[in-house]
């Protein structure tokens, strides 16, 4: 576990990655049932590897499994989003604090470089902040915490579910332009080795992000 490069080794690995991708991107619909026989023909593997892939998806909280009944893709709800982002706020805030304490100077320099690249992207593409860039930013801070349990829980725990919410409920809009500025301030705090501030800024950043998605999830409440 904790395969950061996500290099598939076995057939179960490949199927797991592919199925996860399909679910996160909405190719396999949220809330739909996952039939083992159906998937085994679709992905051309035996039911055993499908079962293993589904079990791994269950550990990511992306599918829910009931004994003798089967597995369903989770459905996205406002309550689920709140619960998820509460946990994320706590864990990633902690990651930022630990990162300020444990990242090497070289790693922090790399983080600054990444930020400069994004700055150019924002200028060139008109203040559009790439999803991949944002994920990369958060990944580095998570890894920078150097806490293996924390890393495992986030990277192969809840992070793909977070991505699922973001991909399927839109992360475009006016919000994305401000995210970059927030990232800058977080890195600044980490540079100063100010863990407390880094944690607070990260928590705010995630809170804003939650509010942004929440608006799209329940647009009827805006009126």
Q: Which residues bind a copy of itself (CB under 8 A)?
A: 1, 9-10, 13, 48, 51-52, 55-56, 58-59, 61, 64-65, 67-68, 80, 83-84, 86-87, 90-91, 94, 98, 147-150, 152-153, 157-158
| Binding status of residue 68 toward DNA by CB under 7 A | yes
Partner touching 158 among a copy of itself, DNA, none, CB below 5 to 8 Å by kind: a copy of itself
Applying CB under 7 A, the span of 20-28, 36-44, 119-127, 146-154 interacting with DNA comes to 36-44
Report long-range pairs for 29-38 (Cβ below 8 Å, ≥24 apart). 29/73, 30/73, 30/74, 30/75, 30/76, 30/164, 30/168, 31/72, 31/73, 31/74, 31/75, 32/72, 32/73, 33/70, 33/71, 33/72, 33/73, 34/63, 34/70, 34/71, 34/72, 34/73, 35/70, 36/70
Token output for 126: 């008109």
| Binding status of residue 37 toward DNA by CB under 7 A | yes
| Least gap, CB of 47 to DNA (angstroms) | 6
| Least gap, CB of 133 to a copy of itself (angstroms) | 26
Partner touching 64 among a copy of itself, DNA, none, CB below 5 to 8 Å by kind: a copy of itself
| Binding status of residue 41 toward DNA by CB under 7 A | no
| Binding status of residue 67 toward DNA by CB under 7 A | yes
Closest CA to 71 of 102, 38, 33, 128: 33
Instruction: Give the Cα separation of 96 and 199 in Å (integer).
Output: 5
Instruction: Give the Cα separation of 199 and 36 in Å (integer).
Output: 42
Partner touching 36 among DNA, a copy of itself, none, CB below 5 to 8 Å by kind: DNA
Q: Taking CB under 7 A as the rule, which mask of x and - marks residues 3-22 in contact with DNA? A: -------xxx----------
Do 99 and 197 contact (CB within 8 A), yes or no? no
Which residues contact DNA (rule: CB under 7 A)? 10-12, 33-38, 45-49, 51-52, 65, 67-71
């Amino acid at each position: 576990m904790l395969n950061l490069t996500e290099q598939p080794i076995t057939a179960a690995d490949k199927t797991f990655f592919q199925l996860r991708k399909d679910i996160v991107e909405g190719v396999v619909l949220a809330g739909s049932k996952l039939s083992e026989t159906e998937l085994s023909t679709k992905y051309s593997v035996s039911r055993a590897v499908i079962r293993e892939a589904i079990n791994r998806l269950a550990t990511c909280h992306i599918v829910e499994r009931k004994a003798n009944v089967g597995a369903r893709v989770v459905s996205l709800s406002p309550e689920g989003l709140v619960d998820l982002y509460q946990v994320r706020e706590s864990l990633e805030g902690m990651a930022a604090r630990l990162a300020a304490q444990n990242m090497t100077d070289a790693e922090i320099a790399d983080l600054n470089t990444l930020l400069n690249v994004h700055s150019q992207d924002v200028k060139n593409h008109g203040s559009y902040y790439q999803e991949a860039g944002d994920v990369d930013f958060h990944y580095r801070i998570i890894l920078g915490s150097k806490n293996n349990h924390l890393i495992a829980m986030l990277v192969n725990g809840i992070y793909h579910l977070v991505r699922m919410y973001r991909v399927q409920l839109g992360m475009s809009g006016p919000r994305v332009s401000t995210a970059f500025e927030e990232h800058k301030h977080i890195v600044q705090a980490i540079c100063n080795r100010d863990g407390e501030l880094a944690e607070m800024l990260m928590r705010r950043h995630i809170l804003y992000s939650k509010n942004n998605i929440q608006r799209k999830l329940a647009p009827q409440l805006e009126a």
